[in-house]
Amino acid sequence: MPAIFTKERDIVDFLLANKNEHLQALIGTKIKKVETEVMIPKGLPRKGVTGAARIDILVIDKEDRWHIVEVKHPKSEILENSKGIAQLLFYDAMIHEKEKVNVASMNLITSSFDPILGEIVPRNNLKIRVAKATKDGLELVVGYTYKRGRPKEYRDYFVDEVYKYILECVEASKGERVCLPTVEGLAIKLGFTKETIYKWGEENEDFSDALAFLKSNQCVELINNGLSNKYNAQIAKLMLSSNHGMRERKDVTTDDEKFPTPILDYVSKD
C-alpha cells in the first residue's frame, strides 16, 4: 500500500521537488513559473488582511495562464476536502476580479481522497481536478478533462463494474467511514454521466438488474445505518423518501385525528 503524507508541507515539497513529473503532468502544459504561498491580490502582506486569498502553489504556464493548486492533508476527509473546494472557488473569483488573468485550472491535491468529492465536483459542474498524492506519485482521481474522447457505447463488462463498485463501497464503509453506493458515484467510476448510466439501464436488462441491486443495497445501508446512528437520521430519512419512495404512514381519511362522536355513534348503531 502506498505510503501517505502526514503534513501538507510535505505534499507541497513533494510536488515542487519534481515539477515536470507532477505539476506539469497535472496541468497538461509547459510550465513558465511556479510560486508558493501567493497572496491574492498580489503584493499584499499575508497577515492582517481581509478579503484576500493565499494560494498554496500557483503555476503559470507558457501562455501566462494561471493554475491554482490547493493542498490538503485531511484530518477529517469530507470537511477538509470540502473546505479545499470552497477555497479554490474563492481564489478563482478573487483572481478574476483583482488580477484580470485567465485561470486555466483549479486543482485540489489531497493525501486522503473521499469518494463524495467524486459526486460533489461533477454534480455542481465545478471545473476542479482532484488528485491524490502518495509518496509513490500523483494520481488524478477526478478531472473535468477525463471524458474527452471517451466512447459512450455500452460494454458488457460494465455489469461487473457495478458489482465491484458496490463491494468497494462496502469495504470502504467498514469502521466509521461512510461510502454509500450511488448512481452518481458509479458514473464517476466508469467515467460517464449519470444520464448515460440511466440510459444503459433502460436498454440493457443485465445492467438494469445491476442498478436495481445497487439501489437495494443503498436502501438497506440507509435503513441500517440510520437506525444505528452511523448516518445522520434526517439525511437518511430524506434519501429514503426521495430515492426509494418511503414515506411516514398517515391516515389521510382523518388526518390522524379521532373520528367525531356522531360518526362513531352512527357506525355502532349500524
Provide the residue-wise pLDDT of the chain in tens; the chain has 270 residues: 556 777 888 889 888 887 777 888 788 778 899 999 888 876 665 555 556 778 899 999 888 888 999 998 877 666 778 888 888 888 887 787 777 777 888 899 988 777 777 777 776 767 788 888 887 777 777 765 433 334 456 778 788 889 988 888 888 777 666 778 888 888 877 777 788 899 999 999 999 999 999 988 888 887 877 766 666 666 667 677 766 766 655 555 555 554 444 433 333 344
Question: All 3 cell numbers of residue 230?
Answer: 452511523
What DSSP assignment string belongs to 54-82? EEEEEEEETT--EEEEEEE--SSHHHHHH
Predicted pLDDT at 247: 63
> Distance between CA 33 and CA 19 in Å, rounded?
10
At 24 the three-state DSSP class reads: helix
Predicted pLDDT at 268: 37
Report CA-CA distances (Å) from 185 to 29, 145, 165: 29, 17, 9
Cβ-based neighbours of 48, under 8 Å, separated by 6 or more: none
Predicted pLDDT at 213: 92
> Distance between CA 105 and CA 264 in Å, rounded?
71
Are the beta carbons of 91 and 53 closer than 8 angstroms? yes
Question: All 3 cell numbers of residue 239?
Answer: 434519501
Domain spans, the chain = 8-142, 158-244
> Distance between CA 69 and CA 165 in Å, rounded?
29
Predicted pLDDT at 219: 87
Scanning the structure block, which residue is given the C-alpha cell 481564489? Answer: 91
Predicted pLDDT at 2: 56
For the domain made up of 8-142, give the CATH fold.
Answer: Trna Endonuclease; Chain: A, domain 1 (3.40.1350)
Q: Does pTM top 0.75 for this prediction?
A: no
Question: All 3 cell numbers of residue 194?
Answer: 449519470
Question: All 3 cell numbers of residue 262?
Answer: 356522531
Peptide bond before 74: cis, by omega within 30 degrees of 0? no
